[in-house]
Amino acid sequence: MTETHAEPTLVLAPPALEPEEHVLRTVLLAPVRARFWKELVYVLTVFVIGCLAVAYLFLGFGGGLYLAITVIGVPVLAIVLLGGRAWGRIYRALAEDLLGVAVAPPPPFAPASGLLGFLRSAFTDRASWRAALFLLAQAVLGVAVGYLVLVTVAMTMFIALSPIPWALIHPTNVDEYGVEHQSMVQFGDFYLDSWPKVLGFALIGLLGCLALPWLLRGVCRVHGLLTIALLSATARDRRVTELRESRLTAVEDSAATLRRLERDLHDGTQARLVTIAMALGRAEERLAEGGDPSDLIADARAGSKEALTELRELVRGIHPPALELGLEPALETLTARCSVPVELRVRLPGRPTPAIEAIAYFSVAELLTNVVRHAQATGAWVSVLPGEGQTIVVTVRDNGIGGVSTPVDGALGAGSGLSGLAARARTVDGTLSVRSPAGGPTVVTIVLPLAGSR
């Protein structure tokens, strides 16, 4: 038998660029990259709509103040002020599509009932006032600065392309002595009337074109920062939204728990108690007839033990009795019952409040259930350690296959099975993060406030 050996194949990687070469390549390619043209379109667009926005502010607020002597003026001012929200949506869309700046919108306007309530809500709407301030800033940044930038871009590109019209159109200028010069531009008595002069002038334009992307980038950077500062949701807005979502999650979680308890009691414990009652009824009848009811009584006793076991499981699902002794003993009991070997490490600076203990316990229970069902792991590690400030860090790690859905843009992927745990953590200002590369390991970290100690 003849053995064949494949010839080794040498794969050459592209040579790494030196820092100087990288900078030179970046500068030379900047004018032809998509980012330059997007930013140019953005500056042109905000210049146009900035002119419209300035007219809107002048006519809207000016007309509203003029009409304020009548009853109509006040509602007009309120509507004009709320119109700033619509302008904000336009500018946020432009920033996201052309600059790649993702801006979280402020919460929607929620007017109070009645005309007076609507007016009061409009004039106290912080998002509308911030949008109006943004439009006022656009009068300077979008219109005045935008005009200067666009003129600079147009002149620079014209200078770079000046040899083309100079050769095709043959423009002429006449000096004070009546002599014609084929020149598009003159500086006093100096005329661009020869190819060397025209090409030198065009070279200045080409060098200017290399600087244009950085001019646009700086202007668009200021636009992006202004958009984030005045048109995005504030920390207070995000906090209110999180509290609203957390409250909704808590209500839904409580309703789901009540439905589960009702179903378990109806289908399990109630049916078993009915069976016990029927067995005792037959035993009573047999005893009245002079028979031996011992087998029926034994069945009823066995059924009562099973009913007690089910009731204990239901109670444990509501509030584990082990938590009465503290989080560490409860987790020791939980990890000892897990079918996958679990190593537990707990070091608490103080005892958390009952709500924090319950969230930590049920989160670990859910995560260990996921490890057993989906991770194909041979071991797991659970730790509860002090975090920064008055917080505790709950970490669950396994050596399984990984690939768990991870947060996208700050939110857990749909169907990941962890969104409920994240929502439960947010109800107490906690956070949940996931690191689960393909092939493992999976690490889930939950940061919860200690909320004082008892």
Domain boundaries, the chain: 26-231, 244-315, 326-449
Return the axis-axis angle of helices 73-94 and 114-123, rounded to nearest 10°: 50
User: How far is it, in rounded angstroms, from Cα 343 to Cα 313?
Assistant: 24
In terms of Cα–Cα distance, which of 34, 135, 156 is closest to 82?
Answer: 135
Is pLDDT of 150 > 80?
yes
Q: What is the CA radius of gyration of the chain?
A: 37
Residue showing tokens 């007690």: 308
**Could you tell me which residue, 226 or 315, shows the higher pLDDT?**
226
Least confident of 52-61, 196-205, 302-311, 338-347: 302-311
Which architecture does CATH list for 326-449? 2-Layer Sandwich (3.30)
Going by C-beta distance under 8 Å and a sequence separation of 6 or more, which residues neighbour residue 432?
412, 418, 421, 422, 425, 444, 445, 446, 447
In terms of Cα–Cα distance, which of 284, 293, 353 is closest to 323?
Answer: 353
Least confident of 24-38, 65-79, 401-415: 401-415
Cα dihedral 88, 93, 95, 101 sign: positive
Is pLDDT of 401 > 50?
yes
- DSSP state, residue 69: G
User: How far is it, in rounded angstroms, from Cα 286 to Cα 300?
Assistant: 14
**Could you tell me which residue, 107 or 41, shows the higher pLDDT?**
41
Q: State residue 184 phi and psi, 5-degree precision.
A: -85, -30
Is pLDDT of 17 > 70?
no
User: How far is it, in rounded angstroms, from Cα 78 to Cα 398?
Assistant: 57
**pLDDT of amino acid 4:** 42
Bridge partners of 408, per DSSP, are 411
Query: Across the chain, what does the average pLDDT equal?
Result: 80
User: How far is it, in rounded angstroms, from Cα 193 to Cα 197?
Assistant: 7
Contact assessment for residue 112 and residue 121, using Cβ atoms and an 8 Å cutoff = yes
**pLDDT of amino acid 266:** 65
In terms of Cα–Cα distance, which of 221, 242, 227 is closest to 105?
Answer: 227
Least confident of 97-111, 203-217, 311-325, 350-364: 311-325
Is pLDDT of 104 > 60?
yes
User: How far is it, in rounded angstroms, from Cα 45 to Cα 83?
Assistant: 19
pLDDT tens, residue by residue, 239-290: 776 666 666 666 666 666 667 667 766 666 777 777 778 878 888 887 887 7
User: How far is it, in rounded angstroms, from Cα 139 to Cα 53?
Assistant: 8
Is pLDDT of 61 > 60?
yes
Q: How confident is the model at residue 145 (pLDDT cuts 50, 70, 90)?
A: very high
- DSSP state, residue 411: B
Residue showing tokens 């999650």: 249
**pLDDT of amino acid 179:** 66
* Type and span of the H or E element at 380: strand 380-386
User: How far is it, in rounded angstroms, from Cα 150 to Cα 155?
Assistant: 9
Contact assessment for residue 217 and residue 37, using Cβ atoms and an 8 Å cutoff = no
* Type and span of the H or E element at 277: helix 270-288
In terms of Cα–Cα distance, which of 409, 390, 406 is closest to 448?
Answer: 390
Q: State residue 217 phi and psi, 5-degree precision.
A: -65, -40
**pLDDT of amino acid 159:** 87
Bridge partners of 395, per DSSP, are 383, 445
User: How far is it, in rounded angstroms, from Cα 241 to Cα 247?
Assistant: 10
List the structure tokens of 258: 């009540």
